[in-house]
Amino acid sequence: MEKAQQKLELITKYFSDFTPVQLQQFNALDELYTDWNSKINVISRKDLESLYEKHVLHSLSIAAAFEFAAGSTIVDLGTGGGFPGIPLAIFFPEVKFHLIDSIGKKIKVVNAVAEALDLKNVTTHHSRIEDIKDRKFDFVVSRAVAPLKDLWKWSKPLLKKPSPNSGNQQPGLICLKGGDLATEISESGCRPRVMEVFEIFGEEYFKEKYLLYVPS
């Protein structure tokens, strides 16, 4: 518990107004992912040691840059083990998150984690993003699962038209990416707003990590 508490300080260094329930949920992630990862490998062993930096805090860079209105809906495209969706669902308890992945065992882990944390605002779907029909969302979030060109192609049909429920930002794709993105952005045909994660969180790990926002 003490080890998790120390790791949690990496989160509370940047965010200060969590409820006791949220702190408990963030604190529980360490033990939950360590336990589940020993059964179903969803995070590399090396990364598991840095869970709070490389996965939880990285996911929360979206929360630092975007304010999602209560009642808005977010789909996490290719959620893997639940990132960025699970940390964001803890951060925004009044926002509905739909986490999808084409790999069933990953969704099994996500379901177990969401249930253990009692996250009422999380639903999941074992599916490919292209197979989601007749549903619209305020935002699509994703973490480095495909080139921007593909992410935008998959996201566009799922996004609502702008409405008062969208908060300060109009509906769009928000994705976390790293490295030199010039070619990828050029090939996408998009004109995303690009934010450096290192400017939000001053940890060395976040150098050359970026947040991209493509409004619908």
User: Is 78 assigned a ligand-binding role in the annotation?
Assistant: yes
Q: What span, in angstroms and rounded, lies between the C-alpha atoms of 167 and 95?
A: 12
CB atoms within 10 A of CB 138: 26
What distance in Å separates the CA atoms of residue 96 and residue 212, rounded to the nearest whole number? 21
- Full set of structural domains in the chain with CATH: 2-129+143-215 (3.40.50.150)
Q: Check the annotation: does 129 bind a ligand.
A: yes
- pLDDT tens, N- to C-terminus, the chain (216 residues): 556 667 889 999 999 899 999 999 999 999 999 999 888 888 888 788 889 999 999 999 999 999 999 999 999 999 999 999 999 999 999 999 999 999 999 999 999 999 999 999 999 999 988 888 889 999 999 997 899 999 999 999 999 987 665 556 789 999 999 999 999 999 999 999 999 999 999 999 999 999 999 998
For residues 8 and 148, give the distance between their C-alpha atoms in angstroms, rounded to a whole number: 31
Taking the whole predicted model, whether its pTM rises above 0.75 is answered as yes
Distance (Å, whole) CA 181 – CA 160:
27
Consult the annotation and say whether 130 binds a ligand. yes
Cβ proximity of 156 and 130 under 8 Å: no
